[in-house]
Amino acid sequence: MTTSSTTYVLGRAHAPRPPEGAHVLVLDLTAPPSDPVQEWLVDGTCALFEVVRGLLEPAVTPSAIIAVVIADPQPGTGLGPMVEAAFASTQATIHSLAMEYEGTHLSVVRAFPEQAVAVQQTVDFLASTDGGYVSAATLDLRTAA
Q: How far apart are CA 50 and CA 42, in angstroms?
A: 12
Q: Is residue 13 part of a domain?
A: no
State pLDDT tens for residues 87-130: 999 999 999 998 888 888 899 999 998 998 999 999 999 988 88
Q: How many distinct structural domains can be found in the chain?
A: 1
Range of the domain at 127: 35-144
103 located within any domain: yes
- For residue 1, pLDDT over 60 is answered with no
Q: Is residue 42 in some structural domain?
A: yes
pLDDT of residue 20: 81
Asked whether residue 5 is assigned to any structural domain, the reply reads no
Q: Assess if residue 21 is contained within a domain.
A: no
Q: Would residue 2 count as lying in a domain?
A: no
CATH code for the domain of 61 = 3.40.50.720
**Three-point CA angle 136, 110, 97, nearest 5°:** 25
In a domain, 50, yes or no: yes
